[in-house]
Amino acid sequence: MKRSQKLFQHAQLVIPGGVNSPVRAFRAVGGTPLFLRRGKGAWVWDADGNRYIDYVGSWGPLIAGHAHPDVLKAVEEAASRGLSFGAPTESEVEIAALLCKLVPSMEQVRLVSSGTEATMSAIRLARGHTGRSKILKFEGCYHGHADSLLVKAGSGALTLGQPSSAGVPAEIAAQTIVVDYNDIGAVERAFQEDGKNIAAVIVEPVAGNMNLVTPRAGFLEAMRKLCTKHGTLLIFDEVMTGFRVALGGAQALFGISPDLTTLGKVIGGGMPMGAFGGCRAIMQCIAPLGPVYQAGTLSGNPIAVAAGLATLKLVQAAGFYERLTATALDLCERLTAAARQHRVAFSAQNVGGMFGMYFRATPPSTYAEVMQCDRATFSHFFHAMLADGVYFAPSAFEACFLSAAHGAPEVEKTIRAAKRFFATLNAPHST
């Protein structure tokens, strides 16, 4: 028996489902999850010594690649001074100032320990600032596992066939309005019916938790106008897209200023960290200045801040995003061409360093179209690629990620493996 199998058997005795986050269990694709031991650059090694090109990248944070020497050095130096203080440090002021400089809409920012904590806190702040109770979100968009956001959510909930969660009281769910992503007409109708009670609209500007779905032309712009008109705060959940699709995030890419922004993943450089921020007038509603309470023992943890600062320094290098985007585009175009050569219904697209793959002729633009993708074929594809040394996200509902460490050799190996799989789908069967 392989070591990963033995570890998974043991894990299931002491951890629910054997994993500490549901998608890791491989329930969507079947089989035994990989237990990883180490990573370097674009590659990871499992407990059995197998090596894979990694397109998961810890679900997005590792934009510089695994174990980047600059990040490791920063973490080691910070750790030598102490792991945590529960008191202000100079480095957290430094990263806060940098985030405010790089993200166009933020004048002040509060550091937290996860993306879930960031979105949960931003929603509370929006309610406290506006005095309203309802929020509007989009079906298939995932904003962490806070109660009011686990209504028709994407990501792991969608992967497990549970778009809502048990344990969320009906009274809380009733405060969440859900409409279709990319349907601005539905947003307009929601405001017509209940605009005076909507505290915030929260949206992934590029959806990445029902696979990658890009905003239709004018969708985000119209949402910005509606929120301004009705006195509702617009929250961009950039936990995934922040510093992943562009320097400054999706809001810089699309030229739209939300009222609040949530961040995570890349800003921690692989360590647990999140943040939320906005204009000074809104942010000063937070304790100790205002009545909206938010706190965290490990907020601004010096080790996470060190990793984040080192990573943010790397992404500011000239041409960083141009090279990252070019590699992702090359991968997507060549995957699509290989599938077309073998008459396989497949498409792929990227925004910056994140990309989506779909067993569907064209990329989806709505939740309903995502659900039309051939998930059974994706599962076969996932395992065939894994056997060939390529590790994609173990779900048809998750975006994938490249790092700056991915280059021509990794793309070439991936394309060769994909061609071998596509060739099997339409190969004649012997009788």
- Catalytic residues, which ones? 142, 237, 265
Q: How far is CA 142 from the centre of its chain?
A: 9
As a whole number of angstroms, the distance between CA 246 and CA 269 comes to 16
As a whole number of angstroms, the distance between CA 301 and CA 252 comes to 27
Sheet holding 36-40, edge to edge: 36-40, 43-46, 51-54, 390-391
What does R_g of the chain's alpha carbons equal in angstroms? Answer: 21
